[in-house]
């Protein structure tokens, strides 16, 4: 068994990575920004089925904005899963508030991994680094595509993930030494929520279930189950075919918000009673955008029927993800079971 460090142990994807690493028998480490949260992390892991963790999990304090703590966390590690990354629920006024920690944090982790003899880093990037910035493109994306950061209207998160991943690959080519890199690019990460720390993608499902959206805008998203994202990280960690590769992680064809709403109505039972199923016209979204910065940030994506292919991960790594429908319904069920939906 290997010794593996997961950055961002409190996060949604990070927690599921820890659960699967522990289940596979690995000696596991995790970084957190505040060690006072260690008990919260362990409670989250128990919620996900990792009961007898004990000393097989060690926590280290490390922050993406500082050098301290990273070397200590990586001493003796075989692999690092660099999952930690800022993903705010609101758009920052200054895009560098997001770009700088995302880029600098990734490079800080790579340097520490190289200097401490780590064999391979698996970096969690995003579809945000693949499928944005081309105004006319609505076809299926693959790992060959890159987001064009020079495009007007690009959101800070999309710029940040693209810049960070490109600089990570440049670092490996320029000064990586013997360090190997593999990259996972998930679409919207859904699936079983284990507590209040979950992906921003889940906020859309939460709002649909709570009825806080008046209708369904003509926006299209990919969906992938968090358990499958974690599984892909573990596969990319040890499979030689993953070295030097990036993998687009999607559970299947992309869905519109309306299609998501209809799946919830059809399969989520009573908790879906507030889900809206009427389309919101684009002209109305443009009017709302005059007063809502979050809506304004999505205007360039209206009507773009994007898609993405998981063929590479399935072919090279034997990855077999759940369907977007399964991921969506698992999200709804877990939000309800944990009492995370507003009542009334």
161 is a catalytic site residue: yes
Q: Where are the domains of the chain?
A: 3-193+224-254+307-324
Catalytically annotated residue among 93, 119, 159, 161: 161
* CATH superfamily of domain region 3-193+224-254+307-324: NAD(P)-binding Rossmann-like Domain (3.40.50.720)
Cβ density class 241-269: b for 16+ within 10 Å, e for less: ebeebbbbbbbbebbbbbbbbbbbeeebe
Q: What is the reported pTM?
A: 0.96
How does pLDDT run along the chain (344 residues), one tens digit per residue? 999 999 999 999 999 999 999 999 999 999 999 999 999 999 999 999 998 888 899 999 999 999 999 999 999 999 999 999 876 656 777 899 899 999 999 999 999 999 999 999 999 999 999 999 865 556 789 999 999 999 887 889 999 999 999 999 999 999 999 999 999 999 999 999 999 888 888 999 999 999 999 999 999 999 999 999 999 999 999 999 999 999 999 999 999 999 999 999 999 999 999 999 999 999 999 998 888 777 777 888 898 899 999 999 999 999 999 999 999 999 999 999 999 998 86
Read out DSSP for 29-68? EEEES-GGGHHHHHHHHHHTT----GGGEEEEE--TT-ST
């Amino acid at each position: 068994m290997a010794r593996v460090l997961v950055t961002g142990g409190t996060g949604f994807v990070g927690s599921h990575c820890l659960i699967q690493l522990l289940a596979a028998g690995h000696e596991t480490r995790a970084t957190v920004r505040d060690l006072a949260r260690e008990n919260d992390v362990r409670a989250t892991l128990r919620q996900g089925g990792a009961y007898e963790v004990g000393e097989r999990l060690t926590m280290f304090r490390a922050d993406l904005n500082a050098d301290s703590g990273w070397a200590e966390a990586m001493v003796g590690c075989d692999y690092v899963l660099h999952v930690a990354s800022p993903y705010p629920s609101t758009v920052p006024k200054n895009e560098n508030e997001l770009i700088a920690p995302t880029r600098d944090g990734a490079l800080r982790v790579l340097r520490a991994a190289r200097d401490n003899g780590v064999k391979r880093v698996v970096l969690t990037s995003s579809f945000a680094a693949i499928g944005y910035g081309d105004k006319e493109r609505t076809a299926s994306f693959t790992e060959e595509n890159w987001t064009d950061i020079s495009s007007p209207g690009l959101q800070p998160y999309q710029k940040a993930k693209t810049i960070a991943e490109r600089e990570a690959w440049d670092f490996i080519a320029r000064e990586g030494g013997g360090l190997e890199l593999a990259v996972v690019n998930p679409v919207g990460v859904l699936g079983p929520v284990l507590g209040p720390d979950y992906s921003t993608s889940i906020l859309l499902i939460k709002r649909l279930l709570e009825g806080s959206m008046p209708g369904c805008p003509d926006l299209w998203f990919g969906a992938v189950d968090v358990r499958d994202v974690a599984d892909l990280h573990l596969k990319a960690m040890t499979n030689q075919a993953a070295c030097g590769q990036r993998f687009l992680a999607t559970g299947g064809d992309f869905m519109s918000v309306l299609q998501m709403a209809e799946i919830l109505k059809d399969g989520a039972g009573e908790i879906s009673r507030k889900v809206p199923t009427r389309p919101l016209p684009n002209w109305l979204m443009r009017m709302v955008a005059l007063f809502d910065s979050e809506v304004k940030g999505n205007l360039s994506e209206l009507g773009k029927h994007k898609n993405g292919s998981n063929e590479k991960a399935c072919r090279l790594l034997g990855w077999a993800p759940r369907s977007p429908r399964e991921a969506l319904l698992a999200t709804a069920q877990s939000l309800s079971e944990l009492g995370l939906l507003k009542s009334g």
